[in-house]
Homo-oligomer: A and B are copies of this chain.
Amino acid sequence: MKKIINDPADILDEMLEGLAFAYEDLVERLPETTVIHRKVDHNDKVALVSGGGSGHEPAHAGFVGKGMLSAAVCGEVFTSPTPDQIFEAIKASDEGHGVFLIIKNYSGDVMNFDMAKDLAEMEDIPVEFVIVDDDVAVEDSTYTAGKRGIAGTVLVHKILGGAAEQGLTLAEVKELADKLIPNIKSIGVALKAATVPEVGKPGFELADDEIEFGVGIHGEPGYRREKIKPSKELAKELIERLKEEFQWKNGDQYAVLVNGMGGTPLMEQFVFMNDVRNLLAEEGLHIDFRKVGDYMTSIDMQGLSLTLVKLEDSRWLDYLNAPVTTISW
């Protein structure tokens, strides 16, 4: 393992210090916590809090700022943050209008965010939440009952962030989130597994000419391995899986995110986006919002995921396009 780190046990602390220093105009690390909080004057609105294990940078701390998250709770690498840390984030974020939690569907996250919600409610902070399970690749997985939450989570941050910034109440944000989640679906392909620093070797092995469809962002197994194919064939496979789920029809409006997993150059992501564009045009879809880059990574995994959002409500597009002040959106 070659990584630019010191003691693997210190990565979370050192990463948070480096991030808070680099972007001290935008965010701060709450003292003696693993919470990154935005530096924005309280503005009398519902606050959004997300988080999870580290290793998915820029998620979630990169999306803390005006118009998106109030705080991100950062666990150790690929490990859920503890309830007390999540509770700290909730307390720091509440502006008297309640806190909305955006949770990726991993058993540890779901349990710990739920416990933090209970702690907050004991202190009379109203809390609602949504569980993101956008990955259509497999049902049930290493750390998940049901479907996993992956890159679509970042679009949930953005859409709900836009809504909260517009002044929606906690109940209205919850209603929007519940409508949104079934309309966000993702699927990915991996070329090479991530190496967790504390482990020191890749989480699984793929042959030099082999890829795996549907791998999770912690290296959870996908649904098929085969030889590497051209980008346009990879795009076709992922789009066909998403089509089965959405059952779209000509003229439907969608948003698209091509998300790099950490070790995939932008060059490849743009080539893939070009193939996605051509295939979705053949399907007759209107693509009203697009984004390409590393948003929800898996340390140094090579691969990418494709997320589509069916824009059922025109306000969702407004929320996607609304300006924000964050490190990484």
Residues of A within 8 A of B (CB): 2-7, 11, 14-19, 21-24, 54-55, 57-58, 62, 77, 189, 191-192, 208-209, 211, 228, 230-232, 234, 258, 262-275, 277, 290-292, 294, 297, 299-300, 302-304
Contacts and interface: CB of A to CB of B under 8 A. Distances in A.
Contact of A21 (B4, B17, B22, B277): B277
Contact of A14 (B14, B262, B271, B300): B271
B21 A274 contact: yes
Nearest to A191: B2
A191 B195 CA distance: 15
A14 B304 CA distance: 17
B272 A4 contact: yes
Contacts of A22: 258, 270, 273, 290-292
Given A2-B211, A23-B290, A192-B2, A265 B262 contact: yes
Contacts of A274: 14-15, 17-18, 21
Is the contact region of chain A dominated by helix, strand, or loop, or is it mixed?
A: mixed
Contacts of A304: 4
B11 A271 contact: yes
A55 B4 CA distance: 22
B5 A268 contact: yes
The residue in A230, A268, A297, A303 that gathers the most chain B C-beta atoms within 10 A of its C-beta is A268
A286 to B, nearest CB: 13
Contact of A290 (B14, B21, B55, B191): B21
Contacts of A300: 263-265, 302
A156 to B, nearest CB: 20
